[in-house]
Amino acid sequence: MGTPEENIRSFKFERVLNQDTGRKTLNLLGTIDGQYAIITAEKTAFSATSPATLVSPDQGLTALNLLQKNDIYHWFMGTIAQSAADNAAVKVNMIYPCTDVHIKKYSAQQLHMVVETPEIYDKYVLKYIKQKTEGGRLNWVYNILSHKEESEKIIFEDEDPKMGFILLPDLKWDLVTMTTLYLSVIVHRTDIRSIRDFTPAHIPFLNGLRTKVLNAVSEKYSLSRDFLKIYVHYQPSYYHFHIHVVHISHDMGASASVGKAILLDEVIQVLEVMKIAQSASGKELGYKDLDMTYTLGEEHDLWKKVFGPLSSGAEPTI
């Protein structure tokens, strides 16, 4: 296995998995040394540090092609001077070697709205979650938490084993454009796989997490706290509790859409209401007792093995 640069140069294209013309992204499947790999490419935002050079033939628009003009209106196509270090045209991510799960995740697919009842969660989804946490699937997460990998990227860390977390940039951020800021928060504790595990007893943990994350990000990047959006996913992409922190101006597409993202503040408020109901009824309550409505792609294992069969009256195969 060569260096990351050597590997990406040896990528052999097989097919396009997905293309989003609105968000200017492209997902490609191929192989590197005989193993499947995925490359995702996303057009970067315009640099706002030197807008005066945009029309410069040396530092800005190096080539222009007039498409049409009408009175005071003119349309051009152009090429902009680029530098991979200072003004890159594209952000490229590589997953190598990748699995079938990655291929399904990055492929274009029909979405379905599903309702996960407490019964479905307990009978089927819990089995799926257990499968996704076995066989070393979370080793890459534990490598980050133990500083074996990506320690140079850590922005902030609270080392407390119960209340602590690591804050680091998400791979989707270009590390430059502040309005596309995207950070990940991975907690140190290992007893929370998703929001389904939360009960009112977790309110102090979540409130502390929210406060410390907002303070750390605001101080690091000189951003007002009300410029930051903090949310979780259900279903998440991996089953070790983590949260997403993005700039409020960033269009995250499906990742932050209804049916996928849930604001952390909303999670806390639901637990606060549960706490009141729990005191009145004497019955322990939690997110495991709720109906959860969310979207699933038709290639997702939960659709294929659980919700797809249920929708047709068949027994899930998980």
Residue 13's CB is within 10 A of a number of other CB atoms, namely: 10
Q: Render the burial of 190-223: b for 16+ CB within 10 Å, e for the rest.
A: eebbbbbebbbebbebbeebbebbbebbeeeeeb
32 annotated among ligand-binding-site residues: no
**Containing H/E element for 102?**
helix 100-105
166 annotated among ligand-binding-site residues: no
Q: Chain centroid to CA 292: how far?
A: 20
233 annotated among ligand-binding-site residues: yes
128 annotated among ligand-binding-site residues: no
Q: Render the burial of 90-108: b for 16+ CB within 10 Å, e for the rest.
A: ebeebbbebeeebbbbbbe
Residue 109's CB is within 10 A of a number of other CB atoms, namely: 16
244 annotated among ligand-binding-site residues: yes
234 annotated among ligand-binding-site residues: yes
Q: What is the Cα–Cα distance from 316 to 318, expressed in whole angstroms?
A: 6
238 annotated among ligand-binding-site residues: yes
156 annotated among ligand-binding-site residues: no
241 annotated among ligand-binding-site residues: yes
Q: What is the CA radius of gyration of the chain?
A: 22
Q: What is the Cα–Cα distance from 216 to 30, expressed in whole angstroms?
A: 39
294 annotated among ligand-binding-site residues: no
247 annotated among ligand-binding-site residues: no
Q: In the numeric block, which tokens belong to residue 296? A: 């699933």
Q: What is the Cα–Cα distance from 290 to 38, expressed in whole angstroms?
A: 36
237 annotated among ligand-binding-site residues: yes
Contact indicator for 61, 80 with CB cutoff of 8 Å: yes
96 annotated among ligand-binding-site residues: no
Residues annotated as catalytic (active site), given as ranges: 242
Q: What is the Cα–Cα distance from 265 to 306, expressed in whole angstroms?
A: 30
Binding-site residues for substrate, please?
A: 140, 150, 170, 172, 233-244
Binding annotation: 140, 150, 170, 172, 233-244
